[in-house]
Chains A and B, each alone.
Chain A
């Protein structure tokens, strides 16, 4: 009996926490599973400047804590476990974790995305030994050292600027001749004396005995390769949606993002998707939170029609 819920939420990032807040406040019996960090990607972001209501900006960690607190205020159960399988076929949806099995009338998938790993020779062995995917976690290890940031989007350029607090020099390596980040973010990078750029370039190799000591950078236009001595490599080269659990069960695009209708219902009734995991999402906290809210409202309507 106690394992029966109205709504189960997979993922505790901004989308999942907002969905929890709305579902809990609507008096739906709600449980949220999170395998790693409450707050998801937002929890490891240094400062979030574009979430309304915080004119001074707010650290990702603090924002995540506030979102958690607000969801828990409305009795959402947080369960720090990984969902390892899901059976979405019947009218009652089933979810399994190492701790047990749970059922619900509706499911909200808010499992977000994870960073694409650096795929060059030498990289696997040096992850955590100079190769990092989280600047706020690992930046302070690179005081007065030279680091590289791979990627040209918002996360890459913002994190590069953050890393100048510690590193002596931060080189942004991007495969195109222009950055993709927003103008305001680009301008800050251009003005920062510690930041320089290797455009039209990709990493082709990483070397180091026990930790990173150098990389090979290849110019994609000329084919020319050169070695650069660096001790840290921060990688922001795109994302992979966390949807392997639902492969074959739900409609997805080629990259694995969940396809939904305007109410955020996926291809199986009673299954909703919100946030970065969904196709066409803007990949911002404000957007993820809004989708979480909508998914919860849609789930509530769906449950009413079933009763």
Chain B
């Protein structure tokens, strides 16, 4: 994977997500999920472009099921934007870059 998106896990969640001073977008994904694989390069691209404003992270739901459970993630890909540790926005599904930019406009503006 590219270097702009941080892999997070149950172990690093508190430090990387809750403790982040920037807002973080977490991509909940798994190896077996075709739409997740398709959308991954879009996230890479967003991360390359907007890493000043938002930190981009991904969490493998098979490796970290407790975190997925904690946020009731039961469809993937699911994206949750966290700000100061709080889930502020949530959306789902593979979609083009422009739609991510729309969803995240509040934090990119």
Contact = CB atoms under 8 A, between A and B. Distances in A.
Interface of A: 35-38, 43-44, 60-61, 80-82, 98-99, 127-130, 132, 134, 136-138, 140-142, 210-211, 232
Q: Looking at B34, B76, B94, B95, which has the most chain A CB atoms within 10 Å of its CB?
A: B34
Contacts of B73: 128, 141
Contacts of B36: 137
Interface magnitude class on chain B: 20 to 34
Contacts of A130: 72, 74
A138 B35 CA distance: 11
B74 A132 contact: yes
B72 A129 contact: yes
Given A37-B94, A82-B96, A98-B98, A134 B75 contact: yes
Contacts of A138: 74-76
A140 B34 CA distance: 13
B46 to A, nearest CB: 13
A28 to B, nearest CB: 25
A137 B72 contact: no
A140 B95 CA distance: 22
B57 to A, nearest CB: 19
Interface string B93-106: 11111110000000
A35 B95 contact: yes
B75 A128 contact: yes
A17 to B, nearest CB: 14
Nearest to A64: B34
A37 B38 contact: yes
Contact of B30 (A132, A134, A140): A140
B78 interface: yes
Interface of B: 30, 32-36, 38, 42, 61-62, 68, 72-76, 78, 90, 92-99
Nearest to B34: A61
A132 B75 CA distance: 7
Given A129-B74, A210-B72, A44 B96 contact: no
A60 B76 CA distance: 17
Given A44-B35, A137-B34, A36 B74 contact: no
A140 B74 CA distance: 9
Contacts of B92: 127-128
A98 B30 CA distance: 29
Closest 5 CB pairs of A and B: A128-B75, A98-B98, A211-B72, A61-B34, A141-B74
A128 B78 CA distance: 8
A81 B98 contact: yes
A36 B34 contact: no
Contacts of B33: 136-137
19 contacts: A35-B96, A36-B94, A36-B95, A37-B34, A43-B35, A44-B34, A80-B42, A82-B96, A128-B78, A128-B92, A130-B72, A132-B75, A134-B75, A137-B33, A138-B74, A141-B68, A141-B74, A141-B75, A211-B72
Contacts of B96: 35-36, 80-82, 98
Nearest to B99: A82
B95 A43 contact: no
Which of A132, A136, A138, A142 gathers the greatest number of chain B CB atoms within 10 Å? A138
Contacts of B30: 140
Contacts of A37: 34-35, 38, 94
